[in-house]
Structures are given as C-alpha cells and as structure tokens.
Structure 1
C-alpha cells in the first residue's frame, strides 16, 4: 500500500509499505478520507513526534476491507469512522470510564501507525458504522466534532446561556455548532482572521468579534450589559486567548480550555486574581471519550450529522490525494494560507 511516512522534521515520504496484518478483534479499513489535525503540525513541522518512522493521521473514515479472528460487530463493506484512542481498559481510570486519562493507552496516528495511508488496522471497538447518507469527508470530522462536544458535556452545559468561543479554527467552529444545537441563547466567536469570522457567521454565530480591534472591551460590555459571558470556550491554545478568557468571563462563569498550548503561559497577578474575584470555574477538556467506549460524543455526532444539523462541509478548505501531502504542508508553512481543514483522500 501507499503510506505517507514521517522520518524526521519536515521529512514525509510517500512510499510503499506492507498492508498491516490483523490481530484478533481487529479490522482492516481502506481509508477514504483523513484529516490533518492541528496536533499533527508540531509532529511534522517540529520535533513532537513520539518516534520515527511513523505514519500519522487519526481523523479518518473508510470501508472495512477485511476482518480478523473474533470480529463480530462489523462486516466487510461497512462504512466506518475511526476512533484513534486505544485504552488499556484495565486501569482505574478506564474502569471508571475515564478512557482519556488512561496511563497505558496507545493512539492510532501518533503512538502506532495511523490513517495517512491506503489502509489502517484498528480494533473493531474503534470502528463506528455510518450509512451512505454521510460522505466520507464528513465522517472524517467525527473525531474533532466529538472533541468539541466532549468539552460541553464536561462542563455540563445545559443551554440557555450566552457563550463565548475564543478561536475560529476547526474546533472553535465545531464548538459553536454544538453550543447552538444544545440550546445556547447566543454564541459569540472571537478570532483575528476575518475569513474565519465569516465562516462562523455562516455557521450560525450570533456575533463575531475581531480581537485585534481596539474596541473589543466596549463591544463585550455592550453585548453582555457589562456582565461578561457565563460560558467561555477557549479553543485556540494561545496564551493570548487563555488570558482573554479570564477577562471575558462573568462572575461564577464556566471556562473550559479545549485548545492545547504549544508553549509556556504567563498570567500577571492581576489577571490570575480574576479567578478569585469572579469565582469562576476553570477546567480543561481532553480528547473525546466517555462510557461506554467510545462515548455519546461519537454517537451524537453521527446522529445530528445525518439529520443535517451539523455542517462539516463549510470547514473543509482543500482536499489532496495522498501523493500530494507535502503540497498540503507547504500551505501550512505559508502564514494565513490555510482557512480550514486540509484533508487527504488516499483511496
């Protein structure tokens, strides 16, 4: 099979590789669509890969090509979305249903070979079936969508509140859609890119604010009657937006950090004191899993996607054949060139 193999920083080679052999309870998926995630960028453009060589890719969908011994829940020809986490299912965290906190996990596309290839082997429990009404490119969005929904479930979001989403990237625009779907009164998206803010408006944002404008503070005061936002979702992983979330939060607010920071974060003592003064709740959200594995986040994504209540098409910026993966990464090396999800179509 063809696979895009990462050998070192900025060294991806599309080459022939053996089709994975199947262990018991595993299936072989012919990959039809696979995304490039923001977490893949430091692995390719930096030194964050766990080891070399490695085939990355953990957002994917395809068709079951072959099944291994003991497989009973899926059959050859099924269309499936892939679940990348491989928990141990034995530790205390796993037994408590906290699979993302498993200390002994593996992960398809970072610890073991993933979906930037024509075929990937996964446990059958890591395959979520979907029907012909959903395109493969949309099904490859189930994983990032589940990440966004998991954050809202984690903070026990019940709707009826004004929500601020900091960051208009893919996770931010998915969080926007889920907040609206779950009954937010209004959702305001903050970003510094007008194209992203335009996408947010098309996807249902009630307000968009370019955070570079000097009157942001006044806009927020007018919008919230000076109270701030009762729910703040930080999705960019930026030190700027993480500090900004403290400023935007209302008294007794819920702040959730979904974005993963790439460097150290510094708060002034006055900024950090806002947590005391406002008595807001600050939490993080990690991955996309709940019990029973992989969780309602995955089931609900496919349910509402089938009903047409989630829009993933708006998020796809460009698609590339697997052979052109380096051209895709050339776009990431050009500041401002990527305006959404880049997706690979291996087969």
Structure 2
C-alpha cells in the first residue's frame, strides 16, 4: 500500500518479489500496527520520501533464508522457515563506529524499515505490504509463545524505546517516578518502572480516561495537567525530597516537560523521548541545574540491547498488565487508508493491520 505525499493517497501497488541478495531474509508480513510517526507522515507533520510503504511495527513469518548459511536471532537461536519474528526498525553495518558505541540507530549506514522511498530496487521494506526483505544488520527475535502475536508489533518500536529510556536511568529502585504522557510509550514505561521496584509512579496527561487506565499499568497517582498545579504539589508533598527523582517524558509536550523540571527533586534524572518533531526551545537555568544536581538525557529509538530486553520483558510480564487492550481496532491491508483515518479521528492506542 503506497502512500503518496503529493495527494495524500494510499493505494495498492502490485509488483513482483525480487531475488534475495546475500544475507537477506524474506518475510511474509502478518501484522502491522500504526505508530504515531506513521500518523504524522500521513498528516504531513513529518516528512518522509514519497511514494513510500509505511509501517515499521511489524510481525511476520520467515518465508525464505539464504542458502547454505545459518542465521541466528539476537538470542542465538537459529532461524528457520516458518518462524514468527519481529525485528528492529533499523539495519546497520556492524563495522560502523556508532554500532560499536551501542548507538546503531545513528549509524551512517542506517536503513529504516517503513522510512525508505519505494523504487524498483527498494520495494518490500515496510509493514504495509505483503512482504518485507530483511537486510544484514537487522536485529531479529522470535516472538515468544507467551506474547499475543497481534500485540507483538508494538514491541519493536514503543516497547524497545521505553526500555531504552529505562537503560539511561541510574538506579530507579525506591525512587519516585513521574511519567509525562499516558500513551502506549508512557504505559509501558510505567509497567517497567513498577517491575524495577520504583517506590511510586505518577502519570501526567490531559486525558482523564487515559489517566484512569494507567492505574492498571502500575501507576500509583495521576495528575491531569489541565487542573490546578496544587494537585501535583499534593502528591510530591509526601515525598522526602518534595519532588520526583526520575522524570520520563513520552509526550513531547513543552508544557509537560516544563512541569517535570519544576517538580524535580534534588538529583533528579530527566529522560526525554517524546519530542521527535520540531518544537520550541525550553529555558533551563544553569544555576538551578548545578545546585539541584539535575541531569537531562535524550533518547531517540533504541539499540539492539534494548530490543532484546523489551522482548524479554513482555515474555515475562505480558499477562501481568492489560497490554492486549492497546489494540483497539483491526483492519485488513486493503483498508489501510480507513485505518489511518480512524486512528487520526479516534486517537486509539493502536490500530492493527492484518495482512
């Protein structure tokens, strides 16, 4: 299903499968979920090459492997035809310095699924198609049997990104955590925080329904930021440091980020994830940063380690939280445009494309 930015169309394109090159794997796509970045591209908020096969949250079945060569997933399991897999949203060359520094998502050789222009050479590289050809340098993992395969596409973007945020945090145990944004990223981050034994988890959002739902994901307190700030002060007043030790932004909202800075405890760690589209600057006072011993770290996407840890987390905890409820509506591949329109109008956590 090709998206054309010039007229906003998403139309079917029938084309033949190319022969596999060395180390490539042919996958039959089975499920794709629409990520927020896909919606941003569809609405013009985000620019990608056009025409393009969108979709990077994907689960598929291996159809063909290289001849006379064994390939393994990131856990060391040999890959076989028929395996149900998910994979990193990127492929990168292992000799790249960014890969060596555990930042493969910034590699000079980066290839991102669902972000590459459709050409005669590059056809099957997104989730909104029947197949995907995986390149060397793609991190692949088999989908564990304990995880609902319809949910599994979310792991290779939101799940791994939330895990990357937690990798940046030094010692979350017994800390008071504030998460900005009760979307898929925020709810997963909350569940991870709870499993990592955070003392308390507070969720900030502007949607009361989402805030209420967050309580099922390990959230102890909620604050609607449209309400008086005294309600948030009442939460922090019970903390020894009168502020939050860890603040994770998944919203991209400048006002939410400012609130997080305002309610920093001494020694607070700020992890910024959500602001991946152009936004305004935020003033930060150096003296406050220094005297309050604050730190700010940004994370864009994730690395191979985060992906492995995300799949492991959901393998162990999928039934402990209502993750299945993230999929609010299903569409067929031929209903892709309707799926985008539904997602934009109703703002579900995720819609699923069944292929």
> TM-score scaled by structure 2?
0.87
Q: Is the 8 Å Cα contact of residues 147 and 315 (structure 2) preserved in structure 1?
A: no
Task: Note the 1:61-140 alignment, pairs <5 A.
Answer: 61-69=59-67, 70-73=69-72, 74-111=79-116, 113-123=125-135, 125-140=138-153
Q: Is the 8 Å Cα contact of residues 27 and 123 (structure 1) preserved in structure 2?
A: yes
Q: Structure 1: how far apart are the matches of 2:84 and 2:18?
A: 19
Q: Structure 2: how far apart are the matches of 1:140 and 1:51?
A: 23
The reply on whether 1:195 has 2:248 as its aligned counterpart is: no
Q: 2:173 aligns with which of 159, 166, 187?
A: 159
Task: Note the 1:240-319 alignment, pairs <5 A.
Answer: 240-268=255-283, 274-290=288-304, 296-305=308-317, 308-309=319-320, 311-319=322-330
Q: Structure 1: how far apart are the matches of 2:54 and 2:18?
A: 14
Corresponding residue SS for 1:34: strand
Q: Is the 8 Å Cα contact of residues 150 and 297 (structure 1) preserved in structure 2?
A: no
Q: Is the 8 Å Cα contact of residues 289 and 297 (structure 1) preserved in structure 2?
A: no
Give the CA deviation at 1:268: 4.3
Unaligned stretches of 5+ in structure 2?
A: 73-78, 118-124
Tell me how many residue pairs correspond in the alignment: 337
The reply on whether 1:338 has 2:343 as its aligned counterpart is: no
Q: Deviations over 1:29-83 (max 9, x none)?
A: 1112111111112211106333111101111112112223334331111111122
Q: Structure 2: how far apart are the matches of 1:266 and 1:83?
A: 31
Corresponding residue SS for 1:142: helix
Q: Structure 2: how far apart are the matches of 1:142 and 1:157?
A: 23
Unaligned stretches of 5+ in structure 1?
A: none
Across the aligned residues of Structure 1 and Structure 2, the Cα RMSD in angstroms comes to: 2.3
Matched with 2:25 is: 27
Give the CA deviation at 1:269: 6.0
Give the CA deviation at 1:344: 1.0
Matched with 1:7 is: 4
Distance 1:269 1:283, change over 3 A: closer
> TM-score scaled by structure 1?
0.89
Distance 1:301 1:218, change over 3 A: closer
Give the CA deviation at 1:280: 0.7
Matched with 2:159 is: 145
Distance 1:114 1:203, change over 3 A: same
Q: Structure 1: how far apart are the matches of 2:45 and 2:208?
A: 31
Q: Deviations over 1:239-291 (max 9, x none)?
A: 11121221121111000001134233233466x76434422110111212145
Q: Deviations over 1:276-315 (max 9, x none)?
A: 4422110111212145xx7542442343246x34542122
Q: 2:40 aligns with which of 39, 42, 63?
A: 42
Q: Structure 2: how far apart are the matches of 1:226 and 1:95?
A: 39
Give the CA deviation at 1:138: 2.0
